[in-house]
Amino acid sequence: MKKILLLVFVIFCSCNSNKKEEINSKVQLNSQQILPPQPYFLDIKVNDVKLEKPVFGDWLFSHKEKGQSFEQFVRTKHVVPSEQENIIYLKPIGKFDVLQLKQIELVRQYLQIFFQLETKVLENVSNDIIPNHARRIGDVGQEQFLAGYILDDVLKEENPNKRIALMAITEKDLYPKPEWNYVFGLASYRDKVAVSSIHRLQDKSLKGADFNLCLDRLLKICSHEIGHMFGLHHCIDADCVMNGTNSLVETDEHTLRLCSNCQRKLNSGFKYDNKKRLLELEKFFKENKLTEGLELTKKDLKSIQ
């Protein structure tokens, strides 16, 4: 390690005299590579809803984030699909009922449309893979799993064919560390793995309107976390699925839609057909009676006609 650090230091020193020229050159090169937005992104920008000033309890009230411009995104190293890595995987952990399994399948369908990448569900595994030292009883008597254990000791061992992102879904509550009560999910963007819990997303049961409410929340959380894996930072400009949230109430207030800038970021490396994606989203929302998502998608479709 000392030799590596010394080598880095020597290289830095040897290049220091030309540092300013190199930086200017790189900035100029990057500026030439960044093309103006395509008409699609300009057309749908009219549907972006500016965020209101944050109030106490909101994510942005307690987290002073700077945001991420399109230029910052493209100049920062991030994951881009390739022939070797282009499949998103979901890994169910636990004992799910029929309606929960239906939701996981709908999440798979949605992510495949949202990211325009093949998405598969791996074989369900038992809760027995979580050892006693990574479990505890929560504040209201519910069993909780240590989210970090799932990331480090379960998901890192998984290497399915052409994996670009892997997200576990559990029916048990999660906690990130002893002093925290719970967490909805946790992710390691470097390792491209994440875990989300259904436990707190359903109010009573999964029957009737509660099914769609839970599904809406699950779609938001999963697309948000996987969006981070692909280099998207929290959006601070418009109502967007990449907005940070402090609570389930705030999650419900935010939209399923990616704003025009975040759509442009995602599309810059994925190169999918934007209209095809919108039409597939429209069909999904209509079939699953997700009214808000359907209305937002129709607005974007109308704007590009």
pLDDT in tens, 119-170: 999 999 999 999 999 999 998 899 999 999 999 999 988 899 999 999 999 9
pLDDT at position 146, please?
96
The pTM (predicted TM-score) of the whole model is: 0.86
Asked whether residue 207 carries a pLDDT value surpassing 80, the answer given is no
pLDDT at position 305, please?
87
Asked whether residue 26 carries a pLDDT value surpassing 50, the answer given is no
The pLDDT-based confidence of 202 (bands split at 50, 70, 90) is: confident
Task: Give the Cα separation of 44 and 274 in Å (integer).
Answer: 11
Burial of 90 (0-12, 13-18, 19+ CB in 10 A): buried
Mean pLDDT of 30-59: 85
- Asked if 224 and 8 count as a contact pair (C-beta separation under 8 A), the reply is no
CA atoms within 13 A on the CB side of 176: 10
Asked whether residue 242 carries a pLDDT value surpassing 80, the answer given is yes
DSSP assignment of 95-143: ---HHHHHHHHHHHHHHHHHTTSEEEEPPPB-GGGS-GGGEEE-TTS-E
pLDDT at position 246, please?
87
Tell me the pLDDT tens digit for each residue of 58-88: 888 899 899 999 999 999 999 999 999 999 9
Alpha helices in the chain (DSSP H): 2-15, 19-33, 39-44, 59-62, 70-75, 98-114, 147-149, 209-229, 248-253, 260-270, 274-287, 291-303
Which among 214, 220, 182, 186 is positioned nearest to 198, based on CA atoms? 214
The pLDDT-based confidence of 1 (bands split at 50, 70, 90) is: very low
Asked whether residue 205 carries a pLDDT value surpassing 60, the answer given is yes
pLDDT at position 33, please?
67
pLDDT at position 144, please?
96
pLDDT at position 87, please?
98
Asked whether residue 57 carries a pLDDT value surpassing 60, the answer given is yes
Tell me the pLDDT tens digit for each residue of 212-240: 999 999 999 999 999 999 999 999 999 99
Asked whether residue 17 carries a pLDDT value surpassing 50, the answer given is no
pLDDT at position 83, please?
94
Residue of higher predicted confidence among 270 and 21 = 270
Would you tell me how many other CB atoms lie within 10 Å of the CB of residue 4? 8
Which among 67, 39, 37, 73 is positioned nearest to 51, based on CA atoms? 67
Task: Give the Cα separation of 38 and 45 in Å (integer).
Answer: 11
Which among 123, 133, 180 is positioned nearest to 153, based on CA atoms? 133
- Give the mean pLDDT of the chain: 87
Task: Give the Cα separation of 166 and 229 in Å (integer).
Answer: 10
Instruction: List CB contacts of 51: < 8 A, sequence separation 6 or more.
Output: 60, 236, 237, 238, 239, 243
pLDDT at position 189, please?
86
Q: What is the CA radius of gyration of the chain?
A: 21
Q: Annotated catalytic residue: which of 22, 118, 225, 295?
A: 225
Strands 185-188 and 193-197: antiparallel
pLDDT at position 60, please?
87
118 in catalytic set: no
Asked whether residue 18 carries a pLDDT value surpassing 80, the answer given is no
Phi and psi dihedrals of 36, rounded to 5?
Answer: -60, 155
Asked whether residue 264 carries a pLDDT value surpassing 60, the answer given is yes
Asked whether residue 5 carries a pLDDT value surpassing 70, the answer given is no
pLDDT at position 24, please?
36
pLDDT at position 19, please?
37
